[in-house]
Structure 1
């Protein structure tokens, strides 16, 4: 059973913050994160992600709006609880461990009101949780970057916070370490039942790690959904283009039709509109297939670039009549080169945005 009360949901309503009359950052932002869930905040630089995190942590005052955790108001009209009274753990970039304290003393730093035996037990429990049991006597400089991030998480979780804030905690790690540390962090958060909010610039990190992904655009939430729904059913073309690669095509739907006519052929729609409609059809690169250019219903194009990633490859194809080339995801080995002609066919369903 989770250590925390199940009512540790995060609710942010109509949150506003500006750094002057000409610099609005948050503009009536609303966000709800269920108790025990890990939500990722994703968005371009300057959209308000870090400002939101700092207001929730108590480091900044909001101009308007409310923040509540587990029904307890932290920010509101006339209310601004200081950071130390919010029951919020913070994992900053690069860990930020105290260099003069041992690993055990770093983890135990926020454990107030406990006797020595209880502090030691809780510290050992947290080190075991993050897979670093027996490391208590070491100093931070004796740890790798991934180990330091695990210790920073253990320190944040030790006081049993209702909410954990993670501010791009994997940025300083090399790609070989990131996936493993992310998995360990997610497992530790789930084991304690803490609600968590992760700020990241990495779309793949958000989609692969979080239970919910909230895309921030100009100080508001453009869409908050599960990773699969966000990717498969983006709220608008901007979200589609920001979260992963997207092929955006002009499309037309006849009255009562369930398909759209595009420059890549006829495409099935997830939610056909009522009546005749025109708009932007959103396809993902993995929905496109390279076929023989003489295949019936295939659209001809010319390969302009091939990027091989090992597990798959991205093939860029210029199609007559399309302003921008399209990207096609191909599994395994690639047997086509730039300059060659190919055919493209579409599989699966697309979304239409009038």
Structure 2
């Protein structure tokens, strides 16, 4: 049987939470969403630190939680890395890891602990206490401790949020290198889309106590299910329009006072919400270039060697946002033409 976490839970108090998800061995599933949406609560339910009102949680066909079963955290063999590491301050890195290895001889504890500290690149720091380690090194000790006990599942609760970008990148590399060796489900709680894209095989987008969309990382990012998901993953170009006519395998989308030809047949008269990634928009090279939208620069911010440009589309309340080289001579309220890759235009569900 393929190792797989299955979860389907519901509760109304202390706040409403409804979730159903699966994560197979060797997969990393990212729970992505804003603070307060239920990500960490869901993680605590998987760990057995908190219980839902109803539903089921199982791993490999073994029930962890149901109306009649509530296994304790130690019965679930959870590897858990909390946001603030949870290390014992009076213990060395080696002692912190051996503390998780109950039931083994002292020599086996030391051998396994040293092996895992070596895997997370801390072989030279085994005798240091947490106060003598950097934040990234403490996080690696916490990861080694979680994995040394050979857990059935690894839970990572925003483990990188307190670290600087260079340290985070190093930990991303370590986790990515370890993942193929583990062959267990891995759940990562994060509010950072970039982190989810870098590490996760699948993303579950959470909002207001429920999972709004779950799927392969690229698909969720490129094809958000609806306007709420698009906003939560940071999609800036979310607009509305009406299909004015359809001919063969093409449709004409009215965007305020302008039109775009879409390479697909859609019902005439339909009013749609749609979105575009920033990379699907560029400044038109020619004044008469086809497939363009005209507008006026509504906002202009210089970010390093690039402009972040917001363009108001006439006849609508919508704007399109794109990046372009700062060498371009641009100014507020300047008329501008945008070339749009309509093949990347994604229709959102109502």
Same fold (TM over 0.5): yes
1:327 aligns with 2:308: no
Contact 2:154 2:186 survives alignment (8 Å): yes
Q: Which residue of 2 aligns with 1:96?
A: 86
Among residues 234, 254, 258, which one is paired with 1:262 in the alignment?
254
Other structure's SS at 2:220 match: helix
The whole-number CA distance in structure 1 between the counterparts of 2:254 and 2:282 is 16
RMSD: 2.2
CA drift at 1:336 = 3.3
Contact 1:87 1:163 survives alignment (8 Å): yes
- Change in Cα spacing, 1:110 to 1:173, as seen in structure 2 (3 Å) is same
Deviations 1:32-70 (A, max 9, x none): 111111110011222211111111111112100001112
- Change in Cα spacing, 1:123 to 1:63, as seen in structure 2 (3 Å) is same
Structure 1: gaps of 5 or more residues: 1-5
The whole-number CA distance in structure 2 between the counterparts of 1:308 and 1:88 is 46
The whole-number CA distance in structure 2 between the counterparts of 1:111 and 1:267 is 63
- Change in Cα spacing, 1:87 to 1:260, as seen in structure 2 (3 Å) is farther
The whole-number CA distance in structure 1 between the counterparts of 2:131 and 2:231 is 41
The whole-number CA distance in structure 2 between the counterparts of 1:163 and 1:312 is 43
State TM-score, norm by structure 2: 0.90
Q: Which residue of 2 aligns with 1:10?
A: 5
- Change in Cα spacing, 1:337 to 1:149, as seen in structure 2 (3 Å) is same
Contact 1:94 1:171 survives alignment (8 Å): no
- Change in Cα spacing, 1:349 to 1:279, as seen in structure 2 (3 Å) is same
Alignment of 1:31-110 (within 5 A): 31-110=21-100
The whole-number CA distance in structure 2 between the counterparts of 1:329 and 1:30 is 37
Q: Which residue of 2 aligns with 1:165?
A: 155
The whole-number CA distance in structure 1 between the counterparts of 2:114 and 2:63 is 32
Contact 2:235 2:275 survives alignment (8 Å): no
Structure 2: gaps of 5 or more residues: none
The whole-number CA distance in structure 2 between the counterparts of 1:108 and 1:307 is 52
CA drift at 1:159 = 0.6
Q: Which residue of 2 aligns with 1:315?
A: 309
Q: Which residue of 1 aligns with 2:103?
A: 113
Other structure's SS at 2:84 match: coil
Other structure's SS at 1:252 match: strand
Q: Which residue of 2 aligns with 1:3?
A: none
Contact 2:239 2:319 survives alignment (8 Å): no
Number of positions where the alignment pairs a residue of Structure 1 with one of Structure 2: 342
Contact 1:249 1:262 survives alignment (8 Å): no
Greater shift, 119-128 or 256-265, is seen at 256-265
Contact 1:40 1:200 survives alignment (8 Å): yes
Q: Which residue of 1 aligns with 2:278?
A: 285
Q: Which residue of 1 aligns with 2:139?
A: 149
